[in-house]
Chain A
């Protein structure tokens, strides 16, 4: 069965430090991969997505993620964290039904705290 694992429940980093949030997936076909961010009381905002092509994808707010098929991973990175990045981050796999729309399967999320 398809699944998404985010092994870190909570991460704290200092402002200005680099960040990497881990995501591993289990899916038999070519995955469509996403990272969403959720600020307290807010909905889910798409940070970036991977469909095909270049395995390093750039997103909004200075985030990037790298798809590694051999490791079934899609880790999110940011070189320098800002206090406003404190939020919960969700990795998701989009199911692929031969190109038709499929639902998203989410990981449990990683809560990011930023120290001044």
Chain B
């Protein structure tokens, strides 16, 4: 069964450093998303991406964040200068055209900012 994959599973970084979180969505999906979950809190939407551009973003997704689909398979989230409060689990999700909003989630990347 096709699935969304994410790498790395755990990333530790120093405050102020740049990190790139990687995702491989399901191959025939066209909509891509990033969500985050701070420990003990709910899952929050960050950004959605379609047709090589951002279609929607939340207030959390400020200038420190960017997304890219550098090739036909990867979807990345970059945080330019990490802050302590960026520590969270980051989930990538993808969905197809016909399954409206039925988003398939990856296992997540746990980001720890020290």
User: Interface of A with B (CB < 8 Å)?
Assistant: 32, 34, 36, 41-46, 49, 51, 90, 92, 94-95, 99, 101-109
Contact B107 A42 (CB under 8 A): yes
Tell me, yes or no, whether B65 is within 8 Å of chain A by CB.
Answer: no
A106, B43: Cα distance in complex, Å: 6
A58, B92: Cα distance in complex, Å: 26
Q: Which residues B87-102 have CB closer than 8 A to chain A? A: 91, 93, 95, 100-102
Interface string of B68-110 (1 = CB under 8 A from A): 0000000000000000000000010101000011111111100
Residues of A within 8 Å of B105, CB to CB, are 36, 43-45
Contact A102 B101 (CB under 8 A): yes
Interface of B, secondary structure class, is: strand
Shortest B42–chain A CB gap in Å is: 4
A49, B100: Cα distance in complex, Å: 10
Contact B100 A94 (CB under 8 A): yes
Known: A42-B107, A43-B107, A44-B91. A101 touches B44 (CB 8 A): no
> How many Cβ-Cβ contacts under 8 Å join chain A to chain B?
60
Shortest B30–chain A CB gap in Å is: 9
Selected from B42, B45, B56, B91, the residue in CB contact (under 8 A) with A107 is B42
User: Interface of B with A (CB < 8 Å)?
Assistant: 4, 31, 33, 35, 41-45, 48, 50, 55-56, 58, 91, 93, 95, 100-108
Shortest B31–chain A CB gap in Å is: 5
A6, B67: Cα distance in complex, Å: 31
Shortest B104–chain A CB gap in Å is: 7
A94, B95: Cα distance in complex, Å: 12
Q: Which residue on A lies nearest to B92, using beta carbons?
A: A43
> A-B pairs with the 5 shortest C-beta distances?
A94-B101, A103-B45, A44-B105, A43-B107, A106-B43
Selected from A41, A42, A103, the residue in CB contact (under 8 A) with B56 is A103
Residues of A within 8 Å of B42, CB to CB, are 90, 106-109
Q: Which residue on A lies nearest to B45, using beta carbons?
A: A103
